[in-house]
Amino acid sequence: MAEDLMRYDLMAQEALRGVIRRALDVAAKKGLPGEHHFYISFRTDAPGVEVSEKLKKQYPEEITIVLQHQFYNLDVREDGFSVDLTFNKVPEKLVVPYSAVQGFFDPSVQFGLQFEVKKPEGAPAETPKPEPVKDERPAPSGDAAVVSLDAFRKK
């Protein structure tokens, strides 16, 4: 097979990140409809991510946030989003480019997307991943339909 000089894998990833943007846009403008809520995992060490030093120390590589009951000032842009959340009763503002998002999951309809986000150059070797930050509901079950971009890549 010929080499993919068009980089369809990157085009597909960009298009699927658009699904996240549109879902967040609905939540920002109208609130979360029905039982919808989002688990969003992202690399805290990715370029453009802004989190407090305290959170960065606690989650040096990755964090999973839940947008459900208590989130504020959700601002959705073309390249990413920002949101105010509370961690142990301390308000925090997070700025997240879509390029840092590794996973998006809406357990109310068992919909999920998974992305490969490369570790930034010069970042230390991987350490065990921290537990996700949880809201009032337990983590999603393993029977969710997650779309992995690897399924579309040449092996």
The Cα 28–Cα 45 span in angstroms is 25
Over the stretch 75-87, which tens digit does the pLDDT of each residue have? 999 999 999 999 9
Q: What is the pTM of this model?
A: 0.77
CB distance 117 to 102 below 8 Å:
yes
Over the stretch 89-108, which tens digit does the pLDDT of each residue have? 999 999 999 999 999 999 99
The Cα 120–Cα 44 span in angstroms is 10
Q: In whole numbers, what is the pLDDT of the chain averaged over residues?
A: 84
| pLDDT value, residue 102 | 96
Q: Taking residues 116-131, report their average pLDDT.
A: 60
| pLDDT value, residue 1 | 84
Pick from 141, 148, 67: which is nearest to 107 by CA? 141
| pLDDT value, residue 120 | 73
Burial class (CB in 10 A: 0-12, 13-18, 19+), 144: middle
The Cα 79–Cα 48 span in angstroms is 10
φ, ψ dihedrals at 17, nearest 5°:
-65, -25
CB distance 17 to 101 below 8 Å:
yes
| pLDDT value, residue 116 | 85
| pLDDT value, residue 143 | 47
Over the stretch 10-57, which tens digit does the pLDDT of each residue have? 899 999 999 999 999 999 999 999 999 999 999 999 999 999 999 999
